Amino acid sequence: MTEPRPRIAVVFTGGTIESLGRDRLDLAWYIEHGVRLSTAEVVERLPELEQLADVVEIPFRKLPSHALTDADWLELVDLVHETLEPDDTDGIVITHGTNTLEETAYFLHLTLKTEKPVVLVGSMRPASAVSADGDLNVLKAVLTAAAPAARAKGVLVVLNDTIFSARDVTKTSTYRVQSFQARDLGPLGYADSDLRVVVYHTPARPHTTATEFDVRGRSDLPRVDVVTSYVGADGAMIDAAVTAGAKGIVSAGTGAGRPTPLEDEALARATGQGVAVCIASRIGSGRTVRSPGMIARGRIGADNLPAWKARILLSLGLTVTSDPDELQRFFDTY
């Protein structure tokens, strides 16, 4: 008896993967051209999808990834839950602009309550380009979502044949097709050229169904701002974030997380006003550890999360508690 093909839902949210440039060499300014493929046109380009799965298109509004807000994420969470609830749907692929793909992936990684595969995919070159990468990336993402090996691994990111955990992956280059990397921990596996999904590692930290974060029914999230340190930085940005209503601040400090002296004073003022302060690094690799001085001042160490992912975890943590030690436990756990 022939096994039924996997049923994979695909949500198209926009980005480079659907963009068309002015010509085949427009690899940089295609966004300004403002022309996109429709969802139907993207699917028509990929008749090979029928060999991999029964693909169902799920509508969602098209947005540049740098235009997303927390409200979009909350709506996407609800859409994914609704889509994956039927037993006959085996997984979901979400196309996404690469600028903030890693942030959406990590937010979903922490908040979705499903063990079914959820795969985010994008492209580094527009659909009109010479040697465009988007078509094959979508095929490999669907292949991954249909694979039993992808189940219960949390949210995955697939580009350039490579499978990453949402927690670990980051964009490392503005235009290169190998841009997505997991600098400290490497990929989980590959959607390889023989159309096999090969997984060599599994995420060690809890995700999806094992997290303490459930945002279903929420209409907003606590505001958390990121402030980057540099030579001569004062506390103006930190004070402005507090004035704007931030419940948390992530300081992307120098080296292993050092803010300037004036930033340090502003962070102390923020803590005095009940704002949670997380110390991250602007470097992009390695841990930011919670020193005895940080413990005494109620500050949180970001572990090896970049500042923009620390922002996500701090915001979700603040939906549960404002206690610095409990918030630190989240960073040590997730």
Vertex 51 angle, CA 47 and 56, to 5°: 70
| The one-letter amino acid at 7 | R
Catalytic residue among 16, 211, 260, 288: 16
**16: annotated active-site residue:** yes
DSSP code of residue 171: E
Beta strand 19-20 with 7-12 is unpaired
Compute the CA torsion angle 321, 77, 310, 189 (nearest 10 deg). Answer: 130
Element (H, E) at 224: strand 224-228
Six token digits for residue 134: 């988007």
Beta strand 180-181 with 189-191 is unpaired
- Residue 327, classed as helix, strand or coil, is helix
Catalytic residue IDs: 16
